[in-house]
Structure 1
Amino acid sequence: MNKLLQTDLLELDSLLEKVKKQGVDYLHTIDDRSTSSNENIPDVLALNTKGIGARETLQLFNERFEPILVSSGGPRFWGYVIGGSTPASIMGDWLATIYDQNPQAINGQGDISANIELETIKLILDLFELPESFVGGFVTGATMSNFTCLAVARQWIGKTYGKDFAKEGITEKINILTASPHSSAIKSLALLGIGSNTIIKVKTIEGNREAIAIDDLEAQIKKLNGQPFILISSAGTVNSVDFDNFTAIKSLKEKYNFWWHTDAAFGGFAACSNTYKHFLKDWDYSDSITLDCHKWLNVPYESAVFLVKEEHKLLQTESFQNSNAPYLGDPLENFNYFNFLPENSRRLKALPAWFSLRAYGKEGYATIVENSIDLAMYFGSKIEKSADFKLLVPVRLNNIVFNLKSNQNQDKIDTFLTQLNATGKVFMTPTFYNNEKGIRASFVNWRTTKKDVDLVFDEINRIISLI
């Protein structure tokens, strides 16, 4: 054995204890940690020949990179819709690394940790009050979840033409209807060979809305003259968190032949709350659904779920099966995640979600969701009453999109946001809404409190007075 490896193995207890202490110290001070980095990025070091061992490597990390890491899991990091990690999910994530499983098979004598994933999917279906007619699994994020669902939809389109697109390639036009898709769905269309510029854009409801105008949707459907198509609907658009009318879409699905995919990356979590779950009425009639766990589920980053109706299981295996691996057996008789999603190699990313769901249950997640929405509403009301800021869209759920009120100040919005983020007290992102520049704040972190909102509001008023 390499001497450095042998030394590190002998000192493993103290090494992990040192990392644990550093991690705990970070989590205990995360409220005060900067939300943005003003440090210079260090030059790249060449790989050393003999190595320096784990202890000195930790020291090198702390000298070079630790200072540039921001509190993205903290209570005032309001960019990118990033949730923080709950204590239980951190436990699950550490154990996922330690046990280092390959969650694919559910039977046999080898690794059968995929049973944890199957149970976690059932917990998620229960949390969202979705039927067990969905087959689900964990992928890296909303992009891969959308990709997985739309790959099955692509195969469905092929079968309506009597073709196998997974084996033969795409030989027919695939019609995509949508109104306000997330960029990850558009990216998935590019990756799938369908094309990111081929969508048929459906009008949105008038009156500062991002949701599908059902009348125009049906008009676009009729223009297809019976051709099959894929509908991408939204359960929470990226800016205004608007929801499509799923009951109306359900009625259309009874009349027309199409695959219905719902992107519910973070808006789907409204189902956790009795107050807001009406937004999702009839979404369970979708053929496939995207959910993002590292958003409102508040688990460590790189975690999302795809859900596809079990009736499409054959299409899913045709899309993803490892056909040159006969030892896997019949994919429909011998379930293995190898044959149901894109990646062959995955970590046990279901375990952090399992820990957090078991630890906090339905009531815990209802509290997280409703607290986030209450704080968004609170911040929105302060913006509305402000002399210097204006809301660009009413607060529907957990996002705020606002701008500088005075027309003379519109050219200052970039400077304002740069200076605000540079304070390190809050991080927000730029956006566009109705062709107007704006600033977006997303509330999904379980740590965020009213005190954080007050602090940020004081800070934006201080910054606006300086520019």
Structure 2
Amino acid sequence: MHPQSVFKTGSPPPSNSTNPIHPTAAHFLTQLLSTLSALPHPVPDPQTITAARTILTHHLPHTGLGLEHTAQHLLSLLPSFARTTAHYYAFVTGSVTPAAHLADLLVSTVDANVQVHLPQDSLVTEVEDVALRLLCQLFRLDEREWAGRVITTGATAGNVLGLACGREEVLNRRLRARGVDEGRGGVGELGLLEACIRAGATGVKVFSAMAHSSLLKAAAVVGIGRGNVVDIGRVEKPWEIDLARLKEELERAEAEGVVSIVVVSFGEVNTGRFDGGMEEIRKLADEYGAWLHTDAAFGIFARVLGSEESGDGGFARGLELADSIVGDGHKILNVPYDCGFFFTRDSRVLLATFVNTAPYLSPSSSPDGIQSPLNLGLENSRRFRALPVYATLCAYGVSGYKDLLSRLVAHSRNIATFIHGHGSYQLLNGPIGDIFVIVLFSAKEDGLNHRLKKAINDTRKMYVSGTMWSNRPAIRIAVANWQVESDELEVVKEVLQELARQT
């Protein structure tokens, strides 16, 4: 039977087929590009979603639909999906650079599981290691100093790693001081409760300011608990840690036998603002034996801009003082969802928690020092997320990403300037010169403000997310897409001016 005919009947491909890409794929991609060109807006209208919902297959067919029929079905569903266009401003979501897109096609084609370092059999783990080294170079971090590094699914997983490493290390210090054999101690071996008992610790607390919700989830996952994440933001600048309060809390924790983790947000989720005082925070962390973790999901990209360039690189000054750093690739790096990265100074603290000891997953002997990724992170089954990272960094380099960041920052500040000068709107995260890639604003008139998010998104010309600020609804415009150009401002102005005229 001809290979194409078995696809038409809905049967699996023949066992002797050696080509994982069927000839239908080329025609499908041509149709995909044609369909996308007819979809100018980032989100579909309700009628399109309703129509697509009616054609979903809710019952598993006994005889498959076949590849060609399924390909057409997928194209029929495409208009109902939200897409990350240049006017998609919600959730600090990038798109996918052309280089990353090509690499991701390759990832699905080879379908590698990047878990065990087997350098004689495959290069995939080495590609991940190289991609992480290139990220260190992009962010001006010494790759020799940040030896513990791994690709993650995103900043949420990265925050789990950060708190797990912090929990492990701060308790290990107390265990070592009590003479407990390091090989027999630690949370990874004993569990949190037993480790606390043996260390003479009464608990673990996390101190932060306006922490991202994923940090609370991470605290729950690693056994610290959401209730032990303490907000110590300044009253006048709630995204910044109150240094006097931090000292008080660390002193109290030490007196009560509590071990501590301090988390700094490099890019607060609502405003994009950066925490100050990293040098002072580092000193306090050292004084009281606390772990210093940074959630830099998108803020780490400020380091791409040198401090000599309008001071923007200074936004992320002090990031290198942390014990662990987490960032997102699917934000400003513009690689496919889901992708993040985690850095810490010593891979041994990762291994203490995440080591996987199954004999069949043991790596071969290798002098290159590369750890098997499954021993450094949450997942044993790992998609080849590093390849799009590697491809996009090779394709565009430092200068390409500096250009991208400059465009994103300029577009954000142009939007902020327009909003600041408009009588119907209030800019909430000024001054304009301090804005990175998020613009936070509201309408001055309550009626417009309460319906503003829906009204903007109903135009289908741009897509934003909402939040609460000072007990009022507010709008976040997050600029992260590589496709953004200077003329995109006119769309934003047109939408906001029209809504203001309607009040």
User: 1-side partners of 2:322 and 2:31: how far apart?
Assistant: 45
- State the match for 2:230 in structure 1: 200
Task: Using structure 2 for the length normalisation, give the TM-score.
Answer: 0.86
* Aligned-residue CA RMSD (Å): 2.4
Aligned to 1:119: 130
TM-aligned CA deviation for residue 334 of structure 1 = 7.3
Aligned partners of 2:219 and 2:38: how far apart in 1? 41
* Deviation for aligned residue 1:147: 0.9
CA distance in 1 between partners of 2:502 and 2:244 (Å) = 48
Counterpart pick for 2:59 among 46, 62, 66: 46
Name the amino acid aligned to 1:220.
E
Structure 1 residues 258, 454: closer, same or farther in 2, change over 3 A? Answer: same
Q: 1:200 to 1:105 in 2, by over 3 A?
A: same
- For 2:31, the equivalent position in structure 1 comes to 22
1:180 maps onto 2:210 in alignment = yes
Matched, 1:319 2:319: no
Query: Is the 8 Å Cα contact of residues 236 and 267 (structure 1) preserved in structure 2?
Result: yes
Contact 2:219 2:229 in 1 (8 A): no
Please say if 1:380 is aligned against 2:402. no
Q: Deviations over 1:238-273 (max 9, x none)?
A: 011122222222232342211000000001100000
SS of 2:488 mapped into structure 1? helix
SS in 2 for 1:224: helix
Contact 1:103–1:348, Cα closer than 8 Å, also in 2: yes
**1:225 aligns to what SS in structure 2?**
helix
Q: Distance between the aligned counterparts of 2:103 and 2:374, measured in 1?
A: 23
Structure 1 residues 381 and 228, CA gap change in structure 2 (3 angstroms) = same
CA contact (8 A) 1:37 1:69 kept: no
The question of whether the paired residues in 2 share the 8 Å contact of 1:296 and 1:445 is answered with yes
Question: For the residues of structure 1 that align with 2:360 and 2:81, how far apart are their CA atoms?
Answer: 45
Contact 2:21 2:109 in 1 (8 A): no
> Is 1:249 matched with 2:265?
no
CA distance in structure 1 between the aligned counterparts of 2:254 and 2:162, rounded to whole angstroms: 25
Residue 202 of structure 1, CA deviation: 0.9
Supply the distance in 1 between the matched residues of 2:260 and 2:118 (Cα, whole angstroms): 37
- Matched AA of 1:403: S
In structure 2, relative to structure 1, the CA distance for the partners of 1:28 and 1:106 (3 Å cut) is farther
Q: Distance in 2 between matches of 1:95 and 1:453?
A: 35
Matches within 5 A, 1:267-278: 267-274=299-306, 275=309, 276-278=312-314
In 2, Cα distance between the equivalents of 1:12 and 1:246?
50
Q: In structure 2, give the amino acid aligned to 1:159.
A: N
Matched with 1:222 is 251
**Rounded Cα–Cα distance in structure 2 between residues aligned with 1:6 and 1:445:** 38
Q: Which amino acid aligns with 1:435?
A: N
8 Å Cα contact 1:402/1:440 also seen in 2:
yes
C-alpha contact (below 8 Å) 2:210/2:238 kept by paired residues:
no
C-alpha distance in structure 2 between counterparts of 1:188 and 1:359, whole Å: 34
Correspondence for 2:403 among 367, 370, 376: 367
Decide whether the 8 Å contact of 2:129 with 2:370 is kept in 1: no
- Aligned partner of 1:119: which letter? V
Q: How many correspondences in the alignment?
A: 458
Spell out the pairing of 1:106-145 with structure 2 (5 A cutoff).
106-132=117-143, 133-134=145-146, 135-145=148-158
Partner SS, residue 228 of structure 1: strand
SS in 2 for 1:35: coil
Cα distance in 1 between the residues matched to 2:265 and 2:486: 29
CA deviations 1:180-203 (Å, max 9, x no partner) are 111111111111121112112213
Cα distance in 2, alignment partners of residues 271 and 261 from structure 1: 17
**Distance of 2:449 and 2:416 partners within structure 1:** 18
Q: Flag the 1:192–1:465 CA change in 2: closer, same or farther, 3 A.
A: same
Structure 2, unmatched stretches of 5+, are 176-184, 197-202
Alpha-carbon separation, structure 2, partners of 1:357 and 1:455: 30
Further displaced range: 220-229 or 264-273: 220-229
The one-letter code sitting in structure 1 at the alignment partner of 2:294 is T
Residue of structure 2 in register with 1:291 after alignment: 327
In structure 2, relative to structure 1, the CA distance for the partners of 1:11 and 1:115 (3 Å cut) is closer
Q: Is the 8 A contact 1:103 1:112 kept in 2?
A: no
Deviation, 1:440, is 0.5
**Worse-superposed segment, 448-457 or 120-129:** 448-457
For 1:12 and 1:273, how far apart are their aligned partners in 2? 40
Counterparts of 1:79 and 1:336, CA distance in 2: 35
Query: CA offsets per residue over residues 311-333 of structure 1, 9 Å max, x none?
Result: xx222112111134365169997
Is residue 259 of structure 1 aligned with residue 291 of structure 2?
yes
Q: What TM-score does the superposition give when structure 1 sets the normalisation length?
A: 0.92
SS for the counterpart of 1:463 is: helix
Distance 1:357 1:23, change over 3 A: farther
For the pair 1:239 / 2:252, whether they are aligned, the reply is no
Mapped to 1, the partners of 2:459 and 2:88 lie a distance apart of 12
Equivalent position amino acid for 1:182 in 2: H
* Deviation (angstroms), 1:57: 0.4
Code of the residue aligned with 2:150 in structure 1: it is G
Distance in 1 of aligned mates of 2:318 and 2:284: 12
**Alpha carbons of structure 1 residues 91 and 327: separation in structure 2 relative to 1, 3 Å:** closer
Rounded Cα–Cα distance in structure 2 between residues aligned with 1:380 and 1:57:
45
Q: Counterparts of 1:318-467 in structure 2 under 5 Å? A: 318-325=352-359, 328=362, 335-394=371-430, 395=432, 396-406=435-445, 410-467=446-503
- Render the CA deviation track for 1:376-435: whole Å, top value 9, x for unaligned: 1100010011011111221421101111113xxx24424222122011110001111233
**CA deviation digits over 1:445-467, x for unaligned, max 9?**
11112322211211122123334
Match of 1:69 in 2: 81
Change (3 A) 1:26 1:117: farther
**Structure 2 CA distance for aligned equivalents of residues 121 and 23 of structure 1:** 32
Q: 1:420/1:112 Cα in 2 relative to 1: closer, same or farther (>3 Å)? A: same
Give the direction of change, closer, same or farther, for the CA distance of 1:96–1:448 in structure 2 (3 Å limit).
same
